[in-house]
């Protein structure tokens, strides 16, 4: 199948990697316990690597970097040359979706992303999902390039931001600490907010299907700002849009495992797993190990959840935390990861120590 080509339900079924592949991360996502868990790290391609910083300097801006397949593929592959990782994760950005839908997007050094704000029905109606596949075609080329170069046990993970997390940036026009503008908009104009969620779900599902068709063996949905929501808003903004994405991806004939990451959801995680249809769930560092083993892992394989501050600090405290996580989840499906992304100031030797300890004890 060519990159970007759509499948139809009358086509022959795609091979099911949940059944056919023996890669360790896919075993874990089937719920199989293993002697040592597979490992990859959120933001494993990033500024803590000098080769990444050198590569980044060649691009005129961050959006161009993400949409230049040769450069994005190189960034994706860089950590695999240093560490014995179980997966590569596509190098891209969650805000490519709103850009593809018509939002102006730029990244300002020292300030982060800036977007044209979406704060009323008119600005929601000005968005479109018609240009997603064309605008994001370079990302699928990146996926195909990376897939061609992976060998052995290493799988390729594609991803997208969840509608709520992406919407918080769109509504605010930039990042925020408490997602205040998005929360207010969801309450003040629930109809327009619902329309935005529907559009984002459709665009995100299409984008994930594109990645799977290009060679991604696992998909991940990042809901980084799922914390601090009322039960009602968590349902409307997190669970329902995620479930919608999963349904659309499956309806397109894509059967690869899907990892959901409702960061900060805490006691709502079991509900999230049951109602969204995700294959597995990623846990942030605030989730207690014993609670997760008893209340989450019986429902779905888990991913996580070392504190990224411990990775930054290193030493015996990190070693002890690694061992505790591995032991806690040893009885079922578990993919070792951080509770959030690796930070730029993390020493490379700490990352090497983490990977070696997870892989070999």
Q: What is the pLDDT of residue 173?
A: 94
Which tens digits make up the pLDDT trace of 303-326? 999 999 999 999 999 999 999 999
C-beta neighbour count of 267 within 10 angstroms: 9
Q: Which two tokens stand for residue 74?
A: 């190189």
Does the active-site annotation cover 93?
yes
Block mean pLDDT (10 aa), the chain, length 361: 32 40 93 97 97 96 97 98 98 97 92 93 96 97 97 97 98 93 97 98 98 98 97 98 98 98 98 98 98 98 98 98 98 97 98 98 92
Q: Which two tokens stand for residue 93?
A: 């950005």
Q: What is the pLDDT of residue 21?
A: 62
How far, in Å, CA of 217 to CA of 195, rounded?
30
Place of tokens 């479109």: 128
Does the active-site annotation cover 43?
yes
Which tens digits make up the pLDDT trace of 126-170? 999 999 999 999 999 999 999 999 999 999 999 999 999 999 999
For residues 171 and 189, the answer to whether their CB atoms sit within 8 Å is no
Nearest CA to 234 among 197, 265, 279? 265
Catalytic residue among 7, 30, 47, 250: 47
How far, in Å, CA of 289 to CA of 201, rounded?
31
Catalytic residue among 48, 52, 169, 272: 169
For residues 45 and 83, the answer to whether their CB atoms sit within 8 Å is no
How far, in Å, CA of 170 to CA of 178, rounded?
14
For residues 131 and 100, the answer to whether their CB atoms sit within 8 Å is yes
Which tens digits make up the pLDDT trace of 29-66? 999 999 999 999 999 999 999 999 999 999 999 999 99
Catalytic residue among 93, 223, 284, 307: 93
Residues facing residue 252 across a β-bridge: none
Cα 186 to chain centroid, rounded: 24
Q: What are phi and psi of 28, to 5 degrees?
A: -60, -40
Running DSSP on this structure, what letter comes out for residue 235? I
How far, in Å, CA of 76 to CA of 158, rounded?
11
Q: What is the pLDDT of residue 255?
A: 97
How far, in Å, CA of 282 to CA of 262, rounded?
7
Nearest CA to 1 among 240, 272, 254? 254
Catalytic residue among 43, 145, 183, 293: 43
Q: What is the pLDDT of residue 6?
A: 33
- Does residue 305 have a cis peptide bond before it, meaning omega lies within 30 degrees of 0? yes
Does the active-site annotation cover 169?
yes
Catalytic residue among 36, 56, 195, 359: 56
Largest CA distance in the chain: 56
For residues 197 and 241, the answer to whether their CB atoms sit within 8 Å is yes
Pairing of strands 87-89, 258-262: unpaired
Question: Residue 36, SS3?
Answer: coil
């Amino acid at each position: 199948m060519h990159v970007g080509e759509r499948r139809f339900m009358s086509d022959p079924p795609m091979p099911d990697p949940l059944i056919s592949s023996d890669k360790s991360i896919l075993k874990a996502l089937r719920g199989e316990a293993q002697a040592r868990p597979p490992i990859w790290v959120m933001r494993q391609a990033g500024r803590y690597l000098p080769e990444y910083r050198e590569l980044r300097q060649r691009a005129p801006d961050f959006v161009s970097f993400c949409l230049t397949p040769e450069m994005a593929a190189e960034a994706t592959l860089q950590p695999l040359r240093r560490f014995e990782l179980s997966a590569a994760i596509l190098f891209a950005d969650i805000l490519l979706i709103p850009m593809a839908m018509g939002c102006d997007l730029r990244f300002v050094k020292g300030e982060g992303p800036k977007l044209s704000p979406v704060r009323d029905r008119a600005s929601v109606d000005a968005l479109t999902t018609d240009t997603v596949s064309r605008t994001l075609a370079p990302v699928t080329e990146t996926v195909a390039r990376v897939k061609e170069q992976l060998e052995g046990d290493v799988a390729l993970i594609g991803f997208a931001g969840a509608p709520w997390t992406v919407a918080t940036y769109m509504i605010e026009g930039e990042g925020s600490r408490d997602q205040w503008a998005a929360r207010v908009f969801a309450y003040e104009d629930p109809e327009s907010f619902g329309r935005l969620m529907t559009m984002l779900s459709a665009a995100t599902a299409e984008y994930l299907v594109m990645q799977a068709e290009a060679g991604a063996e696992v998909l991940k949905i990042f809901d980084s700002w799922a914390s601090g929501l009322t039960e009602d808003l968590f349902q409307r903004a997190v669970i329902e849009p995620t479930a919608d994405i999963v349904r659309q991806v499956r309806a397109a004939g894509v059967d690869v495992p899907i990892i959901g990451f409702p960061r900060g959801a805490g006691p709502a995680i079991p509900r999230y797993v049951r109602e969204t249809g995700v294959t597995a769930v990623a846990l942030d560092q605030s989730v207690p190990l014993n609670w997760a083993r008893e209340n989450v892992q019986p429902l779905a394989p888990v991913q996580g959840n070392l504190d990224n501050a411990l990775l930054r600090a290193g030493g015996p405290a990190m070693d002890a935390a690694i061992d505790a996580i591995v032991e806690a989840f040893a009885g079922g499906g578990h993919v070792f990861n951080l509770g959030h992304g690796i930070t730029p100031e993390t020493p490379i030797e700490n990352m090497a120590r983490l990977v070696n300890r997870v892989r070999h004890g």
